[in-house]
Amino acid sequence: MSQIKNIVIIGGGFAGVRVARGLEKELADARDAQYRIILVEKQKKNHFYHSIGGLRAAVIDWSDRVMIPYTNLFKDNKHRVIQASAEKLERGHVILDREVDTFGSSVPFAYLVIATGTAYHAPAKSYTDDMEGTRDGLAQLRQQVKSAKSILIAGGGPVGIEFAGEVRDVYKDKKIILLHPQDRLLSGSISNLKLSQKAHDLLLKNNVQVVLNDRIITESNSPVYKPENGVVETKLGQRFTGIDMVFLAFGNRPNTYWLKNSDLGASIVSDTGYVKVKPTYQVDHPDLKHVFVLGDAADFDESKHAYRTKNQSVAVIKNVVQMAIHNASPDVEHKKDFDTMFVTFGKKQGVGLLPFFGGWVVGSFIVGMLKSSSLFIEKSWESLNLAPPN
């Protein structure tokens, strides 16, 4: 029997989990005994963090709902989840930051899938790698929110709007100010003026003060902090007083720092920090045809949203199978999905953009029905072969 070969996936977020699950099924259907799937996720992060629900978990206790163990990810126990961080990319190996069973600190691969996503402030991403640390961080933030009478949110993208909605849903009397550096909300996500205006109107309807075309002055390293003397100043000289809590809702950046630790890895990182990618999802390097990238880390010219990983993962799986099982060139190419967005505002409200009629802007009835109440949590538990807690 020939030696088993590894298909390594770096990153256990939405993209990585979808590739892992789909690839296991394809290999099983092909009755393949040659390949083993290895999902690499940080040492203490033995769970998937449902980031879509993180902002709600910062206001009400959803900690046990947004953290989902990887224990049942694979049905066949030959496939593995390795708890370590990728530290360096070599042509046929990934170097880890610690030694693990079977491999030591170097995992060989026949194929590699980079699905490391983007880094963002908690609670839109997990606080720490371990469950207890994230649980404690969320509990502390809930207490800060509860204690604050006046909250300033810096950033009018989906995170800022959704956090404002979660706070307003529970606390009707708190003063909430949302500060955004552009002339309209959601300006960095999807270019739709009607959607921006509908979001603006929704905030005003819910007694959220919106301030545009200005940005906060802050020297804090923390995404959540209590300003000195309750004063927040802006670039244009505005001064907000009596502020108990500042929430920074910006700072999204590609999680590709580890690639820069080798010349080979650094050569596939673009000037903007994303991974250079061909239409077939292969990284753009002549010696790395067996390396793929998808999700937020990929340098595709489109907004970074979890829903895009659904079709992307199907394409990557087909291309890996084409190469690994059929010994053929990958032929499934990237096609940008229609721009779609659901921005929730608490459990029942929100605004959205659907891919009909050139972009159909919808309000609370549809967004509330499709996303706001559940935040798709059941789907994530199902994708890891588990049932959500009651």
pLDDT by 10s per residue, the chain, length 390: 468 999 999 999 999 999 999 999 999 999 999 999 999 999 888 899 999 999 999 999 999 999 999 999 999 999 999 999 999 999 999 999 999 999 999 999 999 999 999 988 889 888 888 899 999 999 999 999 999 999 999 999 999 999 999 999 999 999 999 999 999 999 876 778 999 999 999 999 999 999 999 999 987 878 999 999 999 999 999 999 999 999 999 888 899 999 999 999 999 999 999 999 999 999 999 999 999 999 999 999 888 888 899 999 999 999 999 999 999 999 999 998 787 889 999 999 999 998 887 789 999 999 999 999 999 999 999 999 999 987
Quick one: pLDDT at residue 1? 43
Max CA distance (Å), the chain: 72
- Co-location of 231 and 166 in the same domain: yes
Q: Indicate whether 112 and 199 sit together in one domain.
A: no
SS3 at position 328: coil
Alpha helices in the chain (DSSP H): 14-29, 54-57, 63-66, 131-147, 158-170, 193-205, 263-266, 308-324, 364-367, 377-383
Q: In this structure, is residue 67 part of a structural domain?
A: no
Burial class from Cβ neighbours inside 10 Å (0-12, 13-18, 19+) for residue 34 reads middle
Alpha carbon distances (Å) from 280 to 112, 271, 296, 315, 333: 14, 21, 16, 8, 4
Considering the domain architecture, whether residues 349 and 260 belong to the same structural domain is answered as no
CB–CB of 46/54 below 8 Å?
no
Q: What is the DSSP letter of 283?
A: B
Considering the domain architecture, whether residues 198 and 275 belong to the same structural domain is answered as no
From 303, 326, 349, give the residue that closes a domain. Answer: 326
Would you say 350 and 368 are in contact if contact means Cβ atoms under 8 Å apart? yes
Same domain, 269 and 237: no
Residues 321 and 177 in one domain: no
Q: How far apart are CA 354 and CA 158, in angstroms?
A: 16
Both 261 and 245 in one domain: the answer is no
Instruction: Provide the β-strand partners of residue 351.
Output: 343
Enumerate residues 6+ apart whose C-beta is below 8 A from 149: 174, 175, 242, 244
Same domain, 179 and 220: yes
Q: Is 65 among the domain residues?
A: no
Look at the chain and count its residues: 390
Give domain status of residue 293, yes or no.
Answer: yes
- Are residues 207 and 343 part of one domain? yes
Asked if residue 215 and residue 175 are part of one domain, the reply reads yes
Q: Which residues in 80-160 belong to E strands, given as ranges?
A: 80-83, 86-89, 93-100, 104-108, 111-114, 118-119, 150-154
Phi/psi at 136 (5° precision): -65, -40
- Judge contact between 345 and 206, C-beta under 8 A: yes
| 183 occurs within a structural domain | yes
Radius of gyration of the chain (CA): 22
d(CA 247, CA 211): 15
What Å distances lie between residue 40 and 18, 45, 47, 336, CA to CA? 14, 10, 12, 27
Domain count, the chain: 2
CB 208 within 8 A of CB 168: yes
Domain termination residue (choose one: 278, 294, 326)? 326
Both 27 and 168 in a single domain?
A: no
Q: Which domain holds residue 167?
A: 131-251+339-384
What b/e string do you get for 358-390 counting C-beta neighbours within 10 Å, with b at 16 or more? ebebbebebbbebbbeebebeebbebbebeeee
Does residue 318 share a domain with residue 348?
Answer: no
CATH of the domain at 364: 3.50.50.60
